[in-house]
Structure 1
Amino acid sequence: MRKSILGLSAVALVALSAPALAQDAPTSEITVTGNAAVVSDYRFRGISQTDKRFALQGGITVAHASGFYASVWGSSIDDYVAAGSDQELDLIGGYSKTFGAATVDVGVLYYYYPGSGGANTDFVEPYASIKGTFGPATAKLSVAYAPKAKALSVGNGKEDNFYVAGDLSASIPNTPLGVSAHLGHSYGPSYLTIGKGYTDWNVGATYTWTHLTFGISYVDTDKALYSPSGRNISKAGVVGSVTASF
């Protein structure tokens, strides 16, 4: 997560023998950032949450210079995801700290599905990651564990889920272009895997123009999973996105 650093400075404005008249205001220790996006398909760990249709997404993050942050992110979803709910809200709290070229990030994510009619759909997922930057490239290793919960059950009582992933990304020097690659594995069985575990991967590219980022990625899994409409929502596909950051 992005952080701001407190910078408190005073600049005296002197005219002839007159005393100081003004000074700069202190820089805030709190940074607020946000984004809004349109995506051609919302893929969560390789599986479509929108029946391979468009989704509207957006989020906001409040970060403190100490490294603590809180975020809210949301997306439209199809009603098969969470007992009829048509939206997902992710409530996130965490801490990020940089040590030299490495950044460690730990936190907890709460998946909330309003409109699910009181069904057991919400669950908590603590996560941790470490990433390192090497010139224009960044490598990241992350893990996430959802403790046993009714929302993750596939008929065997409370179940848990474990996810591990690796990501590579790089900006192309002197251009607005970026490239990325992702490989992850979900360990089941749980509702997130709908049976045994599976692997997901994707490769992508982005183009940034002022506050807009245009993205395209190829997403695939080694799983076959079908929605109520009969679509294979884990099948390979190309996903496009337009994201505005502020």
Structure 2
Amino acid sequence: MRMSTMVSAAAFLTALAASPAAAEEKAGPFTVTGGATLVSDYRFRGISQTDKRFAVQATVSVTHETGFYVTAWGSSIDDYVANGADAEIDLIAGFKKSFGDTTVDAGVLYYYYPGSGGITSDFVEPYASVTQAFGPASIKASVAYAPKQNALTVGSGREDNLYLAGDLSYAIPKSPVSLTAHLGHSIGPSYLTIGKSYTDWSLGASAGWQGLTFGLAYVDTDGSFITPRGRNAARAGIVASVGASF
């Protein structure tokens, strides 16, 4: 996600919405998964990428039995995000491995915005996370660092950006319902922050039913970003989602 040059800074991964149900196909040492989701608002680190309107999203991943994986994820976006682009495509390569109840995940994410009018809008962001499970509950700590690059500039050359986050999740036993909580902090200044820094948080719930995943989340930040249509994309909102496997 990247905001346009109409503001001095802007802001996640993710909007907190339920992940889509995923189809799984085994092909030797490789596993292929995929899914599609309709969300009422695409939020990235608390900031709406669709001017608080719905978005269509899809993903496909190929994972090797060693833990290496590649993923392509896409979403519709509003044209203020990347100078007229109407889609975001995330290309990801990483490695994920579990050691008992602990899971480590690290990789590189490339944000691609087709149709952004020739400006430098694409950027790269390495990431890493550690998740610790405690029965039906888990806690996750993650960091994403986008090194200095032209796409993140706020007018004074190449800028970088750091994002720190913590997540809690709890799968209610004998129930299809899972609860989540998220807290993140963006440090700039860059086009991924509102000013020098801001904080985002969310609370959500999801439930699976007959191959579908339904989600509902409350998302908010302590920042402000006014879109060209006059909406505050950083203001609190409810995000609903429904996902299906393919």
TM-score by length of 2: 0.88
Runs of at least 4 residues of structure 1 off by over 3 A? none
Residue 184 of structure 1 aligns with which residue? 184
- Bigger radius of gyration among the two: 1
What is the correspondence of 1:117-156 to structure 2 with a 5 Å cutoff? 117-156=117-156
> Match for 1:140: what amino acid?
K
The 1-side partners of 2:148 and 2:245 are apart by 35
* Alignment of 1:172 onto 2:181: no
Residue 241 of structure 2 aligns with which residue? 241
Kindly report the root-mean-square deviation, in angstroms, between the aligned alpha carbons of the 2 structures.
1.4
Partner-residue secondary structure (3-state), 2:151: helix
Identity across matched positions, percent: 64
8 Å contact kept, 1:72–1:91: yes
- Point out where structure 2 has 5 or more consecutive residues left out of the alignment: 1-21
Partner-residue secondary structure (3-state), 1:151: helix
- Point out where structure 1 has 5 or more consecutive residues left out of the alignment: 7-26
What is the correspondence of 1:4-43 to structure 2 with a 5 Å cutoff? 28-43=28-43
* Alignment of 1:108 onto 2:108: yes
Q: Deviations over 1:149-190 (max 9, x none)?
A: 111011111000000000011111111111000000000100
Residue 197 of structure 1 aligns with which residue? 197
Number of corresponding residues: 223
Q: Deviations over 1:102-152 (max 9, x none)?
A: 010010000000001211100000000000111101111000000111110
Residue 54 of structure 1 aligns with which residue? 54
8 Å contact kept, 1:154–1:194: no
* Mean Cα deviation higher: 27-36 or 88-97: 27-36
Higher relative contact order (CA 8 A, sep 6+): 2
> Match for 1:55: what amino acid?
A
Post-superposition shift, 1:61?
0.4
Residue 5 of structure 2 aligns with which residue? none
> Match for 2:170: what amino acid?
A
> Match for 1:193: what amino acid?
T
Q: Deviations over 1:34-53 (max 9, x none)?
A: 11000000000000000000
